[in-house]
Copies of this chain bind each other. A is one copy, B any other.
């Protein structure tokens, strides 16, 4: 790849050896996104020093490219005036994105520093939920009246020295500023200039309402291969435009969220945040896990007598619990992904449950056979092998059922399945795994 600008390499070493000029020279040639990457790779104490070497006119864009956690940490360290100057020159939608992460003391300064028009626009954008089409849109787009010819449109565009970024279409509006159509740029170029603009509009345009959810927006952009799309209010008035670059960020953040949430982490985690902060952030997750682990231990505790008489149970019970957890997690992952991609819905949920239960039964039979042979040989006890085998079948079927039902239940309760699904599932499979091994053994063997 030939990058637009020189890559950034050894910032740490250059800063450590006091070679500040080299850092400044490198930053002067670099893309803001690459400078932001470099800052994220530094430990927090080194970031303010690196910040000083970023060219003035790149600082704002660097801030808007930073991971949220890193931005918050950095914003606390930097000089307020420096920050405000960097932020105030950004586009309205970029400023709006930074505002939720600004220290309170700075918010008023930023709003005071921007010009009147930007302040009014910010007020509008910030009034929409961050995760809606309204929160995602920018306000910079081109509209033309819908009763003119392509030549007039072209002439109008020629009067501008440049078009807003990612302009692939212009919007046709009527006198009331209501959106009446979308005109692709390439048709302005390729079609006969005398033609009416409205004769060359996109045939089935995708138009978003202000309150459309950003996940819905992302899916539409992906499915229909969009570069940009208009946003209208309830009166069909054109209020903004969503562009693919912001949608790509949404897609990446959603993916990061799903991956990080499964381990109880936030997607904007700063890898080099202070130890105490990181420990604090992770405490709740471990506390929840301790409670669920205690539940499993309580079940074991009910069978202390059985374990004392047949210590093999203590050796074998974690295998059953673990296999149930793993098989169940496979079902859970498939179901959560299916729900989030829309493949699984109310209409076919029963089919999923039926299928996954059958997989659970089949897996149960396979691994019951395996474990009964292993346990039977290990302890020279066929009945013990059969008891563990029965527990294995029970737990794998339970894992499959829980893997389907838990995300459905969590979604109904408005709890994020990506966050809580795994813990809930392994709690079920641990409890059922221990209980079935110890309970069956107590009934049959002791």
| Residues of A bordering B, CB below 8 Å | 1-5, 10, 12-13, 31, 33-34, 37, 40-43, 65, 67, 133, 154, 157-158, 160-163, 165-168, 185-191, 203-209, 212, 216-217, 220-225, 227, 244-245, 247-249, 251-252, 254-256, 258-260, 262-265, 269, 271-272, 275-276, 278-279, 282-283, 285-286, 289-290, 292-294, 296-297, 300-301, 304, 307-308, 311-312, 314-316, 318-319, 321-323, 326-327, 329-330, 332-334, 337-338, 342-345, 347-348, 351-352, 355, 358-359, 362-363, 366-367, 370-371, 374, 378, 430
Nearest B residue to A292 via CB reads B322
Point out the residues of chain B lying under 8 angstroms from A278, CB to CB: 355, 359
Task: Report how far A318 CA is from B429 CA in the complex, Å.
Answer: 13
Point out the residues of chain B lying under 8 angstroms from A203, CB to CB: 4
Query: Contact between B347 and A10 (Cβ–Cβ < 8 Å)?
Result: yes
Point out the residues of chain B lying under 8 angstroms from A355, CB to CB: 271-272, 275, 278
Query: Contact between B212 and A1 (Cβ–Cβ < 8 Å)?
Result: yes
- Tell me what chain A mostly uses at the interface: helix, strand, loop, or mixed: helix
Query: What is the CB-to-nearest-CB distance from A31 to chain B, in angstroms, rounded to a whole number?
Result: 6
Could you jot down 10 A-B contacts, CB within 8 Å?
A: A3-B206, A12-B347, A33-B223, A37-B343, A165-B225, A259-B333, A264-B326, A265-B333, A275-B362, A297-B315
Query: Contact between A329 and B258 (Cβ–Cβ < 8 Å)?
Result: no
Give the number of copies in the complex.
Answer: 2
Task: Report how far A154 CA is from B258 CA in the complex, Å.
Answer: 46
Query: Contact between B223 and A244 (Cβ–Cβ < 8 Å)?
Result: no
Q: Other CB < 8 Å A-B pairs besides A157-B186, A293-B323, 9 of them?
A: A1-B133, A37-B223, A252-B255, A259-B262, A271-B338, A272-B355, A282-B330, A297-B316, A308-B311
Partner of A252, one of B189, B251, B333: B251
Point out the residues of chain B lying under 8 angstroms from A167, CB to CB: 186
Partner of A186, one of B43, B162, B312, B345: B162
Task: Report how far A370 CA is from B287 CA in the complex, Å.
Answer: 10
Nearest B residue to A288 via CB reads B326
Task: Report how far A300 CA is from B314 CA in the complex, Å.
Answer: 8
Query: Contact between A185 and B189 (Cβ–Cβ < 8 Å)?
Result: yes
